[in-house]
Structure 1
Amino acid sequence: MIKSNEQYVRLVMVRHAETEWNLAGKLQGWRDSRLTLAGRKALSSFIARNNIPRQYPADIVYSSDLGRALASARIICNKSGGYIVPDQRLRERRFGILEGKQKNVCINGFLHARHWFAYQGRYEKCLDACLAIATELQAESETAFERRVVDFLRALVRRHAGKTIYVVSHGEWIRCANNILHGRTSWAYGQGIPMNTEMNIFELKPPQLNLSE
């Protein structure tokens, strides 16, 4: 249990609810897609079934500024309290030319097999490890992605000691944050991509992984 006089933040990370592009197997990145009706219902049901408002009453709900995350954050706030603070640092990783495309499908030769091979192998080798592929993909670099995840986590421990903070974000962002919080390299597979509406809970403190710097 977190006490008010301790420098801990209870961090509740939630992946957004299912979207139309999730259903269609399209890569989203910084592009957006609306929540499905089933996704909205699943998130509401998950909150009610697990008695989230009583177990983890929210002080603040931070959300990615992308529509699918904000829509999910509104559902959470309606059930568990708190207020929404949009933050660009919580966006999904940008995947450049692959965004909006159906995964592993090559269209008119524009998307070549090597682009999808690089994407699928990103947990064995950084997506931007090959300069030629990285330039063609126009994707966010691993360094830039990791930097904004760490920057956000540092801000939390500085500002919100003793609070319960919800973070509504995306699959790759939560996977990366999980790795950082467990001392793994940011691009490792780690615990993998969480399912839609899946919740991860941490007690975060300043000394952890030098997050107070």
Structure 2
Amino acid sequence: MAKRIIFVRHGKTQWNVEGRLQGAHGDSPLIDTPEIQSDLKALAAYLKLAGISAVYSSPLKRAYKTAALLSSQISSNLNITADPDLAELSFGSFEGLKKEILLTDYPFEFALLSSRTDDPCLQTLGIESFLSAQKRFCKAIANITATMEDNQVVLIVSHGAISQLGIQCLTRNDYLSGLSNLSLSQVVEQNDRYIIEKYNETAFLTHPVIQQKNTSIK
């Protein structure tokens, strides 16, 4: 008997397009185009086949709006639970800055950020500790898993950096790379172990993403 958790990164925002770090405070609105609406419908149809019975979301607007759009198309009976521990990393004073500026003006710090390496110089910039972020995210997932029944499937809508860190921690796989917007990753919990089944899948989208990376990764 197993419990399945499906992770989805929020839809594309204006800052995603501009290559700006968003983090916990730079909550740029979702882009609303026919192409993105088509991708949301395709993802919802895919998720409907999975038998989603509960939805949890980061409280940040871009994630919660994505969760709401998906839930409304999956089932009229789905409620969304917002959990602050699912929110994105705080990127401190880097939030709102474009990636090319960071690479030029902060090459050392951005290299640490890209590799998710904790360092005092990042904390002085207000960037959240990666280890602390991992712990809060994994605590949230453990609490959700504890409430699940065997064979239940739940949906988590969150963000690129925190989901990457969290899934790495849960599955003990430090080599998982960045996540694309509206990508799907799936983890199964069985006998107190989390096993990865899918990661960063986008082939089901109407406009599949090819090699999109988090802005916070080189």
After TM superposition, is the score higher than 0.5? yes
The within-5 A match list for 1:6-155 is 6=1, 8-30=2-24, 31-38=26-33, 40-47=36-43, 51-53=46-48, 55-81=49-75, 82-105=78-101, 113-114=105-106, 116-124=107-115, 126=117, 128-129=118-119, 131=120, 133-155=121-143
Deviations 1:49-97 (A, max 9, x none): x5431x2122111000000001100111011122111111111111100
Note the C-alpha offset of 1:112: 7.8
Question: 2: CA distance between counterparts of 1:123 and 1:101?
Answer: 15
Secondary structure of 1:181's partner?
A: helix
Note the C-alpha offset of 1:202: 1.6
Q: TM-score, normalization: structure 1?
A: 0.80
Decide whether the 8 Å contact of 1:17 with 1:42 is kept in 2.
no
Letter in 1 for 2:156: V
Match of 2:144 among 156, 167, 170: 156
Note the C-alpha offset of 1:149: 1.4
Secondary structure of 1:192's partner?
A: coil
Note the C-alpha offset of 1:176: 1.1
Q: Structure 1 residues 195, 145: CA separation in 2 closer, same or farther (over 3 Å shift)?
A: same
Q: Does 1:167 align with 2:162?
A: no
Q: TM-score, normalization: structure 2?
A: 0.78
Question: 1: CA distance between counterparts of 2:182 and 2:167?
Answer: 16
The CA RMSD measured in Å over matched residues stands at 2.2
Instruction: Specify the structure having the higher radius of gyration (Cα).
Output: 1
Decide whether the 8 Å contact of 1:47 with 1:79 is kept in 2.
no
Q: Which residue is 1:184 aligned to? A: 173
- Segments of 5+ residues of structure 2 without an aligned counterpart are 195-218
Note the C-alpha offset of 1:156: 1.8
Q: Structure 1 residues 12, 101: CA separation in 2 closer, same or farther (over 3 Å shift)?
A: same
Decide whether the 8 Å contact of 1:157 with 1:206 is kept in 2.
no
- Identify the range of structure 1 (62-71 vs 8-17) with the bigger mean alpha-carbon deviation: 8-17
- Segments of 5+ residues of structure 1 without an aligned counterpart are 1-5
Identical aligned residues as a percent: 24
Structure having the higher strand fraction is: 2
How many residue pairs get aligned? The number is 189
Question: 1: CA distance between counterparts of 2:64 and 2:153?
Answer: 18
Secondary structure of 2:20's partner?
A: coil
Deviations 1:177-213 (A, max 9, x none): 221232134xxxx22111110101121135216xxxx
Secondary structure of 1:197's partner?
A: coil
